[in-house]
Amino acid sequence: MIGLSRIQLYILWRTLSALIVALLVIMAVELLVDFVSVSRDVGARVDITPSEVLGLTLMKAPSVLLVLLPFVFLFGTLGAFVGLNRRSELIAMRAAGISAWRFIFPAAAAAFICGILAATAFNPAASALNLRYEKTRAELMKDYLATAPKEVWLRQGGARGQTVIHARSKTDGENTVLHGVSVFFYTMDKQGVPQFDRRVEAREARLGTGGLILTDVNSTRPGGFLEHSERLVLPSTVRDASGLLNIGSVEAISFWDLPGAIRRAEQAGLTSTAYQIQLQQLLATPLLYSAMAVLAAAFSLRLFRLGGLAGLAGAGVALGFGVFFFNQLCGALGRSGVIPTYAAAWAPPILALLSGLTLLCYTEDG
């Protein structure tokens, strides 16, 4: 805490205390909602005990809490500064010649540091637990999910040729088996236009060390030429079934693994937009948390004796909710390709921070 005055350290302590209270309240509400959600999702389809539902809830909760953390900094900072205002401590600070910029800095800096920790430390732990939740849920519901096989489409290749694979996936123990496999081979002409070369039909396929292993294979070429073989190995850039079938949510991939996931998805011919959005949003997390803290502090500076503080604080909460939903909307638009990745991830926190700074300038400097 080198460089902070005693008053700033006091404000930092009050802010951290309010953040812990807000975190505990949001965690309690979120655990209750997740417990009910898991009970309806899993408990209604398979026979599990309440303790198993609680275990699934604890695995799922951290990834959901990571999404809700901006509200912790919104409500926590707002509660801390409203409390300081009610006890006339902000008036005393202003009378001592301390500007709003100085006593808001500790809250914004704490939020920024917490954002770094959330992206680099809490996110990997939440991702690991979320991946464990998805695997446990799939294991518990394997009989239920087996009735609805997934359609699989995969494109891979390079400048010399392209391969398109279509199949239906089904989990067999720990392995994933593809049924009704159709593989279309294309070669690239001098102009880079794909030309159909041959089609391969297989009864089933499994992912092995050498690539995709096809069984009971029939190959056809233009003109009706047919060739049958019992086994065919199709080289693949994918090394695990989850990458091949695009199984698992983006939340199950940690911050440190996202660059590799983006690279593997692009090599396998899969879209990596969702991974890129997730990575950029995690990089923007410190800025988003700071923006929420600055917004909350800016809406709580009105002198308590002048009245209207409750309405102003309510407006700050409403604006914070607006920033949160705008961030989620931009993420959805970015994943669908409507807006660029960087704009989807960085525009909401930048706009929120500029809004808070504008209000601070108006309040402090007129």
DSSP symbols for 43-70: ITTS---HHHHHHHHHHHHHHHHHHHHH
Within 10 angstroms of residue 355's Cβ, the number of other Cβ atoms is 17
**How many Å apart are CA 299 and CA 25, to the nearest integer?**
22
Among candidates 157, 170, 171, 166, which has minimal Cα distance to 184?
A: 166
Backbone region of residue 3 per phi and psi (left: phi > 0; alpha: psi in -120 to 50; beta: other values): left
Degrees to nearest 5, angle at CA 334 with 332 and 339: 125
The answer to whether 188 touches 160, Cβ cutoff 8 Å, is yes
Amino acid at site 1: M
All structural domains of the chain, each given as residue ranges with its CATH number in brackets, are: 6-141+272-365 (no CATH), 149-247 (2.60.450)
Alpha carbon separation from 75 to 181, 299, 357, 363 (Å, rounded): 53, 12, 18, 20
The pLDDT tens digits along the chain (366 residues) read: 445 678 888 889 999 999 999 999 999 999 999 999 888 888 767 778 888 889 999 999 999 999 999 999 999 999 998 888 888 787 787 777 777 788 888 999 999 999 999 999 999 999 999 888 888 887 777 666 555 556 777 777 665 777 888 887 765 555 667 888 888 888 887 777 778 888 889 888 887 777 788 888 888 887 777 788 888 888 776 655 544 544 456 777 889 988 888 887 776 556 778 889 999 999 999 999 999 999 988 888 766 555 566 677 787 788 888 999 999 999 889 888 888 999 999 999 999 999 888 888 876 665
The structure tokens listed for 112 are 């920024």
**How many Å apart are CA 251 and CA 266, to the nearest integer?**
19
Beta-sheet pairing, 150-157 with 225-234 = unpaired
**How many Å apart are CA 238 and CA 346, to the nearest integer?**
31
Degrees to nearest 5, angle at CA 213 with 209 and 216: 160
Which residues on neighbouring strands pair with residue 184, listed in sequence order? Answer: 164, 199
Find all residues with CB under 8 Å of 220, minimum gap 6, and list them. Answer: 198, 199, 200, 201, 226, 227
Within 10 angstroms of residue 263's Cβ, the number of other Cβ atoms is 12
**How many Å apart are CA 203 and CA 180, to the nearest integer?**
5
The answer to whether 290 touches 119, Cβ cutoff 8 Å, is no
